[in-house]
Amino acid sequence: MNEPRSYVLENASIVLPDRVIENGWIAISDGRIAEIGEGAAPERGFDVQGDHLVPGLIELHTDHLESHFSPRPHVRWHALASVMAYDAQIASAGITTVFDSLRAGTDIDAKPIGADLMALAGGIEQARATGHLRVDHRTHIRCEIATPDVVEHLETFAARYPVHLISLMDHTPGQRQFRDLETWRRFYLRNKEVSPTQADHFVRQRLELHDLYAKVNRARLIEIAAANNAVLASHDDATAGHAAEAAGEGVAVAEFPTTIEAAEALNAAGIVVMMGGPNIVRGGSHSGNIAAEELARAGLLDVLSSDYVPASLLMSAFELPRRAPNIDLAAAVRTVTVTPAKATGLTDRGAIAPGLRADLVRVHLVETTPIVRQVWREGQRVS
């Protein structure tokens, strides 16, 4: 729907970066926040009936587009239709800026994914060019470093499309998230009928690929990130050594560190620590690593991402103060708004403040569960 160029949202609980205005109003003009006030609005506006108004959420890592594109093993859906369904879901979750996580680097037991990467990028670009995107889409390329084709995939992509965020991933058995091989076996082999001998052979193959490609690919991917002014992210840091490596490479964001040792070292190095919203909502990691709430209570959690459940981003922000009493609602909302914006160089959004984009979410609480009622991007209603 088209909103007027100027209007007021009143009778709102407004979540600012440092506090919550219990009864306030926001004046919006030409897609920007013009003014904020407490108490009665200076003119008649749209009554949000006491609901919360929070900044539009900023999502740095969501795998959800690929689940729309490949809803079943070996099935590939129409790229534009996949993008549109995903975009609608992202908007309805209160996310107004999303870094679409697209994979580069083919796993040894999978079909080549280079064509999928380019098909999805083409679908996003077509939706953008035809004016059909509800939210602001940016690019996050998740690079599996121990694969033979990851550099080729990224170079091909970057020659045609912008790259905003690059993460360096290594899911080799015995590394990072899967330092414990039994954890890797449970995670990766749970739906596969393979014998112990076959599993051991697969592990050996993955370790050989790691020895061949991980170091040289990592160096080249860092070069490509610098050439494209892309923010660099590490992934699944497990040790202080991993944190030191990341700091030396210019990493700005650490995705899902698996231990408190790594999180402490990353924090000391000034690297933004990101954890998954589902980890907060569920009360722990699905793969047995450090709980996000433990890092939050220790003051080591900076950013949340929805990871594999888009709705978890808002849910985790409202749940965080209950999980970590040292964090109030304003601080919790910063983990899904202003902090991810700053980490990726987005200075025009992420907070409710005069002059910034009018990216806003109206949130109604059903007991303690936040429900998205309305979403505005640059002052225009998108959900």
- The DSSP result for 145-159, as a single string, is TTSTTHHHHHHHHHT
C-alpha closest to that of 252 among 237, 223, 273, 224: 273
Give the residues across from 58 on adjacent strands: 97
The mean pLDDT values, 10 residues at a time, for the chain of 383 residues are 86 98 97 97 94 98 91 90 97 98 86 92 97 98 96 97 97 67 61 66 79 95 98 95 97 96 98 96 78 96 96 98 96 98 98 98 97 98 97
**Structural tokens at position 66:** 């690929």
**Structural tokens at position 325:** 């009493």
Tell me, what's the pLDDT at 186?
60
Element (H, E) at 231: strand 231-235
**Structural tokens at position 58:** 């900023």
Strands 52-55, 303-305: pairing is unpaired
**Structural tokens at position 127:** 């939706």
Give the residues across from 52 on adjacent strands: 13, 363
- Check whether domain 1-55+349-383 has CATH 2.30.40.10, yes or no: yes
As assigned by CATH, the class of the 57-348 domain is: alpha beta
**Structural tokens at position 352:** 């409710």
Whole-number Cα distances in Å, 225 to 222, 246, 378: 5, 14, 29
Tell me, what's the pLDDT at 191?
57
Tell me, what's the pLDDT at 29?
97
Q: What is the DSSP letter of 113?
A: -
**Structural tokens at position 311:** 């709705």
Question: φ, ψ for residue 208 (rounded to 5)?
Answer: -65, -45
> Domain map of the chain by residue range?
1-55+349-383, 57-348
Tell me, what's the pLDDT at 204?
78
Query: If you compute the radius of gyration of the chain from its CA atoms, what whole number of angstroms results?
Result: 21
Residue pair 234/246 in contact (Cβ under 8 Å)? The answer is yes
* Virtual torsion, Cα 320, 323, 329, 331, nearest 10 deg: -70
C-alpha closest to that of 118 among 59, 158, 172: 158
Torsion region of 307: left, alpha or beta (phi above 0 gives left; psi -120 to 50 gives alpha): left
